[in-house]
């Protein structure tokens, strides 16, 4: 009978898949091991020959061309199992296929309860990014400010925190596990939400919003890995879809709630609401959540057994020799190199960053547009965000269905290449400028309110259809280093989403809503050729690549 998934040698593709879900590169040990045979700090000394071989593998890991695939000399094929010293008596592993310490063996209720809890946290923190957008005029009045740039920055500074917080949270989670990071970041998120609610001046408010974003990004860094820890490959897709609803729909639902909350209780209650819900989820996580990271659980087990048996040679099967400095390097330096030296990573990241910035331009201006053009008042203003939210939701489902259909067709033919992911992106590329022209001129001419709302729905659909294929393309191209490519993309898009909207009010005042959104539409028209060019020339670009880490 075949060995259970956790008791057979994992293939390279399985390790890469898990590493991507966990948010790190595949040369860092995942729950199934590492694609490189990295010795543990506690392992016995090796012979000179073994050390030499280890150095060769390490060199291959650093110097290989990251866009050309994995060399045969340093990697096994997708079908060949990766042996992690399973027969070594000093290697600590699970106590059989039914070991209750293994998160994969948790009860159905415990596993899916954890998934629901982290999905709720991941929904709340992106929701908080835009929830108070309808209350921005009240905030400006409270702090006696008329600075248009500051008015936009109040909303987008939260996303700036997304650029910096996860870069530190990710390596810390590899060293100390997921649970301490969940607890500490949830607690700090609650603290800074309360601080924002009681801020006494604009400077305090902006700083607290930024810190909310830094720590609010934790569940988006850790959530995918937690799901991979708990849920088998067959059921993981369903859990990932539920979890991804947070980053996709949360920012669009937030202003709808915030619009009515601001009218009923004032803008500060948007933050009290977030703090109360986040506090309840934090208490639930303290009570219900347990550590799920297999490398951390096994390292604790090995440490305990070394103390009990006085055998210093015992080591976890998933142990790594990566130092904190190495983890810092992988988390910060490698993404920076990929962003500056890889044509593919740079082009896709710029495309994603510009489209993501458009989302926050709309978030920061919807309230003003529908108040001035349509004279919407009170909580009804928050409903102006509904179009882009529904469009994003439809876009997510459309990409999942048609994207998988296209990819599966090519896999069945045996001719799949990463560029096949970009077919859906071509559709999104056309929808985005059409939606911008539609929304801009409908708002300018003050047509019936449903017309611009439909335009924003098309924008939301186009954003998702462009964003999701570009992200999955980076995963397919960079495989082993996919997490670094996505980190590079995340930093650039967060910076653009925080800074570009600062000039949106001035743009609309100078050009009007019609020509202002047309300018954005013309920029997105200029981006349309990018997926077509990569479909045609992407394979050649990868073949000629000289990017090394």
**Mean pLDDT, the chain, whole residue set:** 83
* Mean pLDDT, residues 6-10 taken together: 61
pLDDT surpasses 60 at 46? no
pLDDT band with cut points at 50, 70 and 90 for residue 507: very high
Q: Which residues pair with 91 in a beta bridge?
A: 315
Question: Residue ranges of the alpha helices (H) in 479-528?
Answer: 482-499, 504-527
28 neighbors 174 (Cβ within 8 angstroms): yes
Q: What is the pLDDT of residue 25?
A: 79
The tens digit of pLDDT for each residue in 247-281 reads 888 888 888 899 899 989 999 999 999 999 999 99
- Please give the full DSSP string across 365-407, using - where no structure is assigned: HHHHHHHHTT---GGGGGGGGHHHHHHHHHHHHHIIIIIHHHH
Q: What integer pLDDT is reported at residue 87 of this predicted model?
A: 63
Q: Using alpha carbons, select from 35, 55, 59, 57 the residue that is nearest to residue 47.
A: 55
Structure token digits, residue 242: 């539920």
Domains 107-316 and 334-549 belong to one CATH topology:
yes
Q: Tell me which of 371 and 52 has the higher pLDDT.
A: 371
* CA 314 distance to own-chain centroid: 36
Q: How confident is the model at residue 244 (pLDDT cuts 50, 70, 90)?
A: confident
Query: Residue 206's pLDDT band (boundaries 50, 70, 90)?
Result: very high
DSSP string, 469-488: HHHHHHHHHHGGGHHHHHHH
Whether the per-residue pLDDT at 50 is higher than 80: the answer is no
Strands of 182-319, DSSP E? 315-316
Q: How far is CA 471 from the centre of its chain?
A: 10
DSSP 58-126: HHHHHHSBTTS---TTT---TTSBPP--TT-TTEE--SSTT-TTSGGGS-HHHHHHHHHHHHHHHHHHH
Question: Is CATH 1.10.3760.10 the right assignment for the domain spanning 107-316?
Answer: no
Neighbours of 301 (CB within 10 A): 18
pTM for this predicted structure: 0.84
C-alpha closest to that of 480 among 338, 324, 319, 293: 338
Residue ranges of domains in the chain: 107-316, 334-549
Q: Is the pLDDT of residue 528 over 90?
A: yes
CB 46 within 8 A of CB 55: no
Q: Which residues of 199-221 are buried (b: 16+ CB within 10 A; e: fewer)?
A: beebeebbebbbbbbbbbbbbbb
**Whether 509 contacts 369, CB under 8 Å:** no
Q: Which residues contact 24 (CB under 8 A, 6 or more apart)?
A: 30, 170, 174, 330, 483
Assess whether pLDDT exceeds 90 at residue 242: no
CB-CB contact of 134 with 266 (8 Å): no
Q: Looking at residue 6, what is its pLDDT?
A: 52
- How many Cβ atoms from other residues are within 10 Å of residue 49's Cβ? 8
Work out the pLDDT band at 78, boundaries 50, 70, 90.
very low
- Please give the span between the terminal C-alpha atoms of the chain, in angstroms, as a whole number: 42
Per-residue pLDDT, 334: 84
C-alpha 439 chain-centroid distance: 28
CATH T-level assignment (fold) for domain 334-549 = Growth Hormone; Chain: A; (1.20.1250)
Integer Cα distance of 481 and 337 in angstroms: 12
Q: Give per-residue pLDDT as tens, 151-203.
A: 888 888 999 998 888 888 888 887 888 999 999 999 999 999 999 999 999 99
Burial 101-112 (b: 16+ CB within 10 A, else e): ebbbbbeeeebb
């Amino acid at each position: 009978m075949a060995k259970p998934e956790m008791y057979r040698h994992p293939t390279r593709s399985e390790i890469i898949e898990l590493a991507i879900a966990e948010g790190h590169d595949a040369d860092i040990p995942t729950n199934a091991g590492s694609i490189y045979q990295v010795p543990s700090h506690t392992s016995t000394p090796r012979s000179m020959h073994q050390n030499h071989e280890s150095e060769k593998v390490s060199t291959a890991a650093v110097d290989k061309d990251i866009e050309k695939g994995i060399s045969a000399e340093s990697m096994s094929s997708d079908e060949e199992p990766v042996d992690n010293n399973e027969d070594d008596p000093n290697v600590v592993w699970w106590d059989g296929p039914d070991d209750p310490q293994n998160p994969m063996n948790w009860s159905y209720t415990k596993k899916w309860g954890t998934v629901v809890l982290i999905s709720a946290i991941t929904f709340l923190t992106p929701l908080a990014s835009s929830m108070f957008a309808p209350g921005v005029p009240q905030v400006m009045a409270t702090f006696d400010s008329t600075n248009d740039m500051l008015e936009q920055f109040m909303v987008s500074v939260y996303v700036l925190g997304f650029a910096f917080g996860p870069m530190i949270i990710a390596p810390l989670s590899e060293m100390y596990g997921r649970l301490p990071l969940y607890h500490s970041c949830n607690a700090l998120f609650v603290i800074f939400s309360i601080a924002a609610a009681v801020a006494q001046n604009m400077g305090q408010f902006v700083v607290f919003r930024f810190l909310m974003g830094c720590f609010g990004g934790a569940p988006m860094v850790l959530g995918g890995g937690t799901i991979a820890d708990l849920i088998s490959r067959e059921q993981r897709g369903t859990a990932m879809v539920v979890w991804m609803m947070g980053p996709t729909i949360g920012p669009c639902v937030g202003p709808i709630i915030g619009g009515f909350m601001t009218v009923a209780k004032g803008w500060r209650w948007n933050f009290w609401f977030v703090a109360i819900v986040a506090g309840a989820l934090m208490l639930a996580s303290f009570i219900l959540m347990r550590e799920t990271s297999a490398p951390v659980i096994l390292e604790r087990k090995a440490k305990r057994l070394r103390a009990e048996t006085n055998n210093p040679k015992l080591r976890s099967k998933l142990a790594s020799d990566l130092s904190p400095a190495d983890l810092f390097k992988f988390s910060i330096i490698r993404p920076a190199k990929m962003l500056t030296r890889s044509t593919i990573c740079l082009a896709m990241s710029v495309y994603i960053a510009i489209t993501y910035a458009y989302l926050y331009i709309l978030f920061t201006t919807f309230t003003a547009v529908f108040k001035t053009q349509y004279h919407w008042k009170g909580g009804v203003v928050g409903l102006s965000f509904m179009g882009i939210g529904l469009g994003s939701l439809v876009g997510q489902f459309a990409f999942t269905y048609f994207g998988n259909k296209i990819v599966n067709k090519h896999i069945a033919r045996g001719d799949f290449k990463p560029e096949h992911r970009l077919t859906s992106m071509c559709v999104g590329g056309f929808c985005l400028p059409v939606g911008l022209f539609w929304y801009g001129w409908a708002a300018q001419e003050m047509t019936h309110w449903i017309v611009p709302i439909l335009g924003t729905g098309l924008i939301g659909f186009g954003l998702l259809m462009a964003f999701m294929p570009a992200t999955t393309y980076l995963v397919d191209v960079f495989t082993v280093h996919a997490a670094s490519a996505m980190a590079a993309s995340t930093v650039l898009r967060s910076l653009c989403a925080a800074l570009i909207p600062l000039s949106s009010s001035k743009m609309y005042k100078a050009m009007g809503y019609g020509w202002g959104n047309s300018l954005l539409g013309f920029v997105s028209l200029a981006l349309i050729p990018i997926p077509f060019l990569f479909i045609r020339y992407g394979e050649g670009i990868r073949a000629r690549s000289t990017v090394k880490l």
